[in-house]
Amino acid sequence: MRRLPPVLLEDGCPRELISLIRTILAACKEISFRVGQGALSGVLGSTLDENIQGETQKKLDVLTNQLLKDILLESGYVKAIASEEEDYTVAGNPDASYIVAFDPLDGSSNTDINSLVGTIFSIMRAPENSDAADERIFMQPGKNQVAAGYVLYGPSTVLALTTGKGTRFFTLDKTHGTFLLTEDFAKVPEETSEFAINASNQRHWQPAMQNYINDLLAGETGPRARNFNMRWIAAMVGDVHRVLCRGGLFTYPTDTKDPNKPNKLRLLYEANPMAMLIEQAGGIASTGTERIMDIQPDAIHQRVAVILGSKNEVETCLNYHK
């Protein structure tokens, strides 16, 4: 099986970008080990702190953020970082070419129940002559990403990665500490009969999503004339991995539950990297009205509606939004 660096070199991926990706993966290997130790490593449970988004931080949110932040800033490969767990961007090497946005631990509500969690990352180029301390260097649409990926800490530790030449899976060989290529060109099947949504929010959705889901639930006696299955891992990283493996539609739509928070998922370090991985595997990623990777961000923790997955099913869902 092939290791990650030669695979990326063959693609013509710049050496500096490969080094940056390997730096992120070095942190992820340690996270994989810590997560795998579970209660033995004393890292389960919550802290007494909240992040800037008003969410109580899990001990693992803090630990994984610190690991990624330290290793990235020490590496010299990044000009600045943006993280779910950092109020503001953090400046790195002023001469570096790349910036990284990350969700150090997605699905942190799953940590205490030994269920799926992962790390999501998005890499872009810093604009020429930009200031490392200027948050505006992150205000670029997702189509500018040069690489995106996640590491899923499941029964095996799997990296999904794209540098714009398809989406690949690498599996961590824990005996040697290397990521080995296990799926060269992941392809999201165009058709699916599976969807993922937090149905407890149903009464708060907008009419388009209410109608779409009602029609799925009506099954073979409804307008879709077939039955649909539902899955919800409560960690986007787990749900998106399933969609990449066997197709499906994943959505976290706009809702009116909390008027101050109409959307849940964050554009820079959740929606954009997942959108790139899905598009590179032949799927679609939209907000319901526009392509996710076309959105011009105006804040680092900005939230968006997400509808992604199998091409034909996402298109059907988008038709309800027209």
Task: State the residues that interact with ligand AHG by CB under 6 A.
Answer: 55, 84, 103, 106-108, 198, 234-236, 252, 264
Q: Which stretch binds Mn ion (CB under 5 A): 31-39, 40-48, 77-85, 304-312?
A: 77-85
Q: Which stretch binds Mn ion (CB under 5 A): 79-87, 91-99, 123-131, 137-145?
A: 79-87
Minimum separation from the CB atom of position 215 to Mn ion (A): 29
How many helices (H) and strands (E) in the chain? 7, 17
d(CA 155, CA 161): 19
d(CA 71, CA 19): 12
Selected binder of Mn ion within 21, 25, 78, 103 (CB under 5 A): 103
252 binds, among ligand AHG, Mn ion, none (CB under 5 to 8 A by kind): ligand AHG
Q: Which two tokens stand for residue 210?
A: 């209410």
d(CA 182, CA 188): 16
Minimum separation from the CB atom of position 130 to Mn ion (A): 26
Tell me which amino acid residue 199 is: A
Selected binder of Mn ion within 21, 68, 106, 116 (CB under 5 A): 106
Residue number with CB closer to Mn ion (106 or 255): 106
Give the distance, in angstroms, between the CA of residue 245 and the centroid of all CA atoms in the same chain: 15
Residue number with CB closer to Mn ion (84 or 255): 84
Does the protein bind Mn ion through residue 239 (CB under 5 A)? no
CA–CA distances in Å: residue 295 to residues 11, 51, 298: 28, 24, 9
d(CA 158, CA 154): 8
Minimum separation from the CB atom of position 18 to ligand AHG (A): 27
Strands 167-173 and 178-183: antiparallel
Minimum separation from the CB atom of position 261 to Mn ion (A): 14
Minimum separation from the CB atom of position 65 to Mn ion (A): 8
Instruction: Name the residue number minimizing CB distance to ligand AHG.
Output: 236
d(CA 246, CA 188): 7
